[in-house]
């Protein structure tokens, strides 16, 4: 007896729609769970705004937040206590002090 060959194992898959993520899930709740844990923003289309931890400004994209942090918060300068020269990073200041003010 030959069967009709009709397989009823039609599985629906729910692919993650985040860029750089190719995962697929067999249920919507699994996808939502993954999205929450891995991407931290619930399902796509319901993205939480990115919030700056230093001034509480919110941004629609992570790169927007990064740009803001760079522009607003990374302009802090470190002044040399000995000669007053400002540096944008502690590393620069340290190497300056090592070179210029070595005893």
Residue position matching structure tokens 């249920």 = 27
Query: What residues contact 11, with CB distance under 8 A and at least 6 apart?
Result: 26
Residues 24-53 that bind Zn ion (CB under 5 A): 52
Rule CB under 5 A: say whether 74 interacts with Zn ion. no
**21 makes contact with Zn ion (CB under 5 A):** yes
- Options 15, 42, 44, 54; binder of Zn ion; rule CB under 5 A: 54
Helix (H, G, I), strand (E, B) or coil at 25: strand
**31 CB-contact burial (10 Å; exposed 0-12 / middle 13-18 / buried 19+):** buried
- 76 near Zn ion (CB under 5 A): no
Rounded-to-integer distance, Cα 90 and Cα 94, Å: 6
Q: How many residues bind Zn ion (CB under 5 A)?
A: 12
The correct pick among 70, 82, 88, 90 for binding Zn ion (CB under 5 A) is 82
Binding to Zn ion by residue 90, rule CB under 5 A?
no
Binding site for Zn ion (CB under 5 A): 16, 18, 21, 23, 52, 54-55, 57, 80, 82-83, 85
């Amino acid at each position: 007896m030959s069967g009709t060959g009709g397989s009823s194992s039609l599985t629906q898959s729910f692919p993650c729609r985040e860029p750089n993520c190719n995962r697929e899930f067999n249920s919507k709740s699994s996808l939502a769970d993954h999205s929450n844990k891995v991407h931290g923003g619930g399902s796509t289309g319901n993205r939480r705004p990115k919030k700056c931890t230093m001034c509480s400004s919110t941004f629609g994209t992570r790169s927007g937040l990064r740009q803001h942090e760079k522009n607003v918060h990374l302009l802090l300068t470190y002044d040399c206590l000995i000669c007053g020269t400002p540096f944008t990073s502690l590393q620069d200041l340290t190497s300056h002090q090592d070179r210029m003010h070595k005893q």
